[in-house]
Amino acid sequence: MAKTPSPKMGTEAAIDKQLAPQPENAKTQSLAQHTADAAGEQMNTNTGLPINDDQNSLKAGDRGPSLLEDFLFREKMTHFDHERIPERVVHARGSGAHGVFKLYKPLGEYTKAAFLNDTETETPVFVRFSTVAGSRGSSDLARDVRGFATKFYTTEGNFDLVGNNMPVFFIQDAIKFPDLIHAVKPEPDNEIPQAASAHDTFWDFISLMPESAHMVMWAMSDRALPRSLRMMEGFGVHTFRLINAEGKSSFVKFHWKPLLGVHSVAWDEAQNISGKDPDFHRRDLWDAIESGNFPEYELGLQIIPEEDEFKYDFDLLDSTKLVPEELVPVQRVGKLTLNRNPDNFFAETEQVAYHIGHVVPGIDFTNDPLLQGRLFSYTDTQLTRLGGPNFQEIPINRPIVPVHNNQRDGFMRQTINRGKVSYNPNLIGNNDPQQVKESAGGFVSYRERIEARKERLRNRSFFDHFSQARLFLNSQSDPERNHIVDALTFELGKVKTIAIRERMLGILLQIDKGLATQVAYGLRLHLPESPSTNQSIPADGDPADYQSVQAEGTLAKSEALSMANTVKDTIKSRKIALLTADGADAASIKVVKDALVAEGATVELIAPRQSYITAADDTQIIVDQSFLTAASVLFDAVYVAGGTNAVATLEAEANAVHFLNEAFKHCKPIAVADDALQVIGATYFSKKIPSDFSEASVLREGILVGKADKNFTNLLIKMIGQHRFWEREKPRLIPA
């Protein structure tokens, strides 16, 4: 979302930014001592030595060799040489924001966690969104899972809710995680393709892992192509425990529900955006916060009594399964608001270290084998990436409460510990720091009774691999289902090994025969005679013990799984392109723009040339972009303004016609002034517009023509609120 350029420049603008009020919270204050602003300050070294000349290295004469004794050069160059830490193995490309979480009602019935019982205090948070497979330099619009990690800086220490925008995962046991990531990453012989799953090694692995079937449906769905990080759900994926003050345990699934609804882009559109603006999601998040359109999400909990652990036809500890909201409704218990962008991307977004093991009293783990493995993996990763065991001392990772323990030294230690004692128990130091009793808030792991043999096995309750994949597919609207078919056909079409394609068709056959038939048709392959049953089993295991089982009584459909049922009552922060040219009708432009802006949308004027247009009444109107710098894929809707000369110019402007064709192809709302119909006449889709322009027709087709009055703008707002008109996609598919 582009910001309107400020008329103030240079020092004046910088001073204004410094003086502008900033959201204050405990975490903002705790970072203050670590925050540096160079305005008005003198240059010095990392030891504080004032620097007289930072422009010339020390030499033997003005043309002589540089001298080894130039410690100023060595410090500057050494720091530069080491300014990049190793990027994350997964979730390397991300963007973050500060915010606050406010609880709606105390949850003492379920948990003793302080921040989930205090409705008065705003808990500071830092959220990092990310893609999974790509490197730091990859596109925001890759077909991929999105990370949604939230660090709560609570009064009892940090709680990290490390999740994704999909509620399930590809594998059931963490020991398979390296295999999954090795398979989806660029192939090791040629480092191709970047940030894409459409290649042989990924589908080779997936076709041998039936447990991945459910997650594949999500990854091939529109959920893998969010319109914005502000318009996607978040999920904790795993089943956790909540523990109340009496020690009673409940199972819980964590959700984030965006108040703007859940929306996506089209696959063709995503590919275009990757070329036009690979920072699309990152820019959208930054601009939304800078403009005051703060992203908001509600925290939802699915709470399951411990006595209901075995009530369902799936295992709560299986991360390839979700709990349908029809069985356990989501309770919305609080709101997350992202209200401040980072001051420094590296220091905050890049160095923030999340860990699924960062919990607080009242929240605990279950025996989910994927969760258990991640408890090790996160620490191990941060030790390598951030240089050692003191990564928690980096300002963005520090809790807002003081830290006292006997851990000492190591790389990058920042705390200066005083005194003789660094062990416990001790008498010399009065036995400080002291352990905290459970009754005083000390963390105690849930006392779960365990009686079992040590063995490398998986419970049979984990063996239903296809019921929920089928549930997800059956819950999609027709357009969403069509997109899944197209995605699978595209991805498998990139697979060069025919045997992998055929084996994957066998997996799809177990999900839904119609789905498998459609994909096979697109690949020009025959369906296999029998479904695939290949999967990894222990070397000495019995294959019969590892065959997929079919759960009884599985839901046929879940409304919550379709994006068609999301919030569609707002255009807040939507981005609308207003196409115009010299000779435009200034009055109608003002009416439409004012109405959209009043509803929280952003309107950008696009014209053949930059800077401004001269309207029919000789007024000059500022233009935001030209057709050369703008693209329809960067907007949510289009309005074509009227005016005799402007309309003639747009009709003859090939880029304007392409802009409209592409917007129509991607099923976006299109509105046209009643005297601008000839512009539409130049498009490919002009003959496909319905002749009936009733409200029902408009809200079915997403095309509006009329005079810029109140009725017109009201209908336009309602139309944009629908987001997309996917139903026109197949019957009215056009080239663009």
CATH superfamily of 94-199+227-397: Catalase core domain (2.40.180.10)
> Any catalytic annotation for residue 91?
yes
Domain with CATH 3.40.50.880 in the chain: 568-728
pLDDT of residue 456: 81
Does position 705 have pLDDT exceeding 80, yes or no?
yes
pLDDT of residue 458: 85
Is 378 annotated to bind a ligand? Reply is yes
pLDDT of residue 695: 74
pLDDT of residue 549: 66
pLDDT of residue 18: 42
Taking CA 647 as the corner, what is the angle to CA 642 and CA 653, rounded to the nearest 5 degrees? 140
Task: State the Cα–Cα distance between residues 640 and 548, nearest whole angstrom.
Answer: 55
Residue 329: other Cβ atoms inside 10 A: 13
Task: State the Cα–Cα distance between residues 611 and 601, nearest whole angstrom.
Answer: 22
Average pLDDT over residues 419-436: 88
Which of 77-86, 515-524, 548-557, 652-661 shows the lowest mean pLDDT across its residues?
548-557
Does position 215 have pLDDT exceeding 80, yes or no?
yes
Arithmetic mean of pLDDT over the chain: 90
Neighbouring-strand partners of residue 369: none
CB 141 within 8 A of CB 225: yes
Does position 333 have pLDDT exceeding 70, yes or no?
yes
Residue 298: other Cβ atoms inside 10 A: 17
Pairing type for strands 625-626 and 602-607 reads parallel
CB 161 within 8 A of CB 152: yes
Catalytic residue, candidates 25, 164, 341, 661: 164
Environment class of 7 (CB within 10 Å of its CB; exposed 0-12, middle 13-18, buried 19+): exposed
pLDDT of residue 1: 41
Residue type, 540: D
Instruction: Report how many helices (DSSP H) and strands (DSSP E) the chain contains, helices first.
Output: 19, 18
How does DSSP classify residue 454? -
pLDDT of residue 91: 95
Pairing type for strands 575-579 and 602-607 reads parallel
Task: State the Cα–Cα distance between residues 391 and 412, nearest whole angstrom.
Answer: 8
Task: State the Cα–Cα distance between residues 700 and 732, nearest whole angstrom.
Answer: 13
pLDDT of residue 457: 81
pLDDT in tens, 553-584: 578 999 999 999 999 999 999 999 999 999 99
Is 128 annotated to bind a ligand? Reply is yes
Is 374 annotated to bind a ligand? Reply is yes
Catalytic residue, candidates 25, 91, 293, 465: 91
Does position 77 have pLDDT exceeding 80, yes or no?
no
Task: State the Cα–Cα distance between residues 212 and 216, nearest whole angstrom.
Answer: 6
Domain with CATH 2.40.180.10 in the chain: 94-199+227-397
Q: Which long-range contacts (CB under 8 A, 24 or more apart) does 706-712 make?
A: 706/673, 706/674, 707/588, 707/673, 707/674, 708/585, 708/587, 708/588, 708/591, 708/592, 708/642, 708/673, 709/591, 710/595, 712/592, 712/671
Taking CA 382 as the corner, what is the angle to CA 379 and CA 387, rounded to the nearest 5 degrees? 130
Tell me which residue of 304, 296, 297 sits closest to 332, measured CA to CA. Answer: 297
pLDDT of residue 180: 94
Give me the percent of the chain exceeding a pLDDT of 70: 92
Where on the phi/psi map is residue 563: left (φ > 0), alpha (ψ -120 to 50), or beta? alpha
Q: Which long-range contacts (CB under 8 A, 24 or more apart) does 24-27 make?
A: 25/100, 25/122, 25/124, 26/124, 26/153, 26/400, 27/98, 27/124, 27/125, 27/126, 27/153, 27/400
Does position 590 have pLDDT exceeding 60, yes or no?
yes
Task: State the Cα–Cα distance between residues 675 and 684, nearest whole angstrom.
Answer: 19
pLDDT in tens, 156-191: 999 999 999 999 999 999 989 999 999 999 999 999
Read off the tokens for 77: 């160059």
Q: Is 705 helix (H, G, I), strand (E, B) or coil?
A: strand
Does position 623 have pLDDT exceeding 90, yes or no?
yes
* Residue 532 pLDDT class (50, 70, 90 cuts): low
Is 169 annotated to bind a ligand? Reply is no
pLDDT in tens, 95-138: 999 999 999 999 999 999 999 999 999 999 999 999 999 999 99
pLDDT in tens, 355-413: 999 999 999 999 999 999 888 888 888 888 998 889 999 999 999 998 988 888 888 88
Does position 543 have pLDDT exceeding 80, yes or no?
no
Per CATH, which fold does 568-728 belong to?
Answer: Rossmann fold (3.40.50)
pLDDT of residue 310: 95
Most confident of 44-58, 399-413, 478-492: 478-492
